[in-house]
Chains A and B, each alone.
Chain A
Amino acid sequence: DSGVTQTPKHLITATGQRVTLRCSPRSGDLSVYWYQQSLDQGLQFLIQYYNGEERAKGNILERFSAQQFPDLHSELNLSSLELGDSALYFCASSVGTGWDEQFFGPGTRLTVL
């Protein structure tokens, strides 16, 4: 158990809908990262927050957004969902930034029908 929690574990929805994925980092970690894992693209970095502020942005679509709250939990919002958004979404956390080890949560499996 990494100490990072993600809810829900599974999510099934329809195209065009909007969903919110939630992540609670390890106690004491200030950074939260979001990744998308699909069979053809592997693990893709989406976005990072550090102590409530956006720190780095990766291959995140405009239909997706994220935020980190004062209690340091984070939410990833996915809207206007398409079939191709079906994937595993992982949250990771680390103490700081840079070379700190990232601890991954168990992931949320999103299925868009």
Chain B
Amino acid sequence: GENVEQHPSTLSVQEGDSAVIKCTYSDSASNYFPWYKQELGKGPQLIIDIRSNVGEKKDQRIAVTLNKTAKHFSLHITETQPEDSAVYFCAASKRDRLAFGKGNQVVVIP
């Protein structure tokens, strides 16, 4: 099955700086790559996703890039704010089931 890995496991950034989280996947047939944000005590929430026919997608301060040849994709958060502190999960899918990475704890230091 699909195997998704995330790096780094914990990331601390100063408020206003950028944060980048990288994920790699194993199944070259995967074609859908969502990112979820999980705040303490809540379920994961989709923040951005990308299909395999697109290399980059932006939504305000958040962007995702996909390199299908290398089988990796990244989440970029610019101008980080304290409310960006959370656990971020990447996932990969080729049909219905999502295979999640183990998550990154992002801490934004005011």
Contact = CB atoms under 8 A, between A and B. Distances in A.
Interface stretch (B15-23, B68-76, B91-99): B91-99
B46 interface: yes
Interface in A21-69: 31, 41-45, 48, 55-56, 58
B103 A56 contact: no
Interface residues of B, number: 22
Contact of B100 (A2, A4, A42): A42
Interface string B77-110: 0000000000001000101111111110000000
The winner among A2, A31, A43, A107 for most chain B CB atoms within 10 A is A43
Given A99-B32, A99-B51, A101-B49, A43 B97 contact: no
Contact of B46 (A31, A44, A97, A102): A102
Interface of A: 2, 4, 31, 41-45, 48, 55-56, 58, 90, 92, 97-99, 101-107
Interface of B: 32, 34, 36, 41-46, 49, 51, 89, 93, 95-103
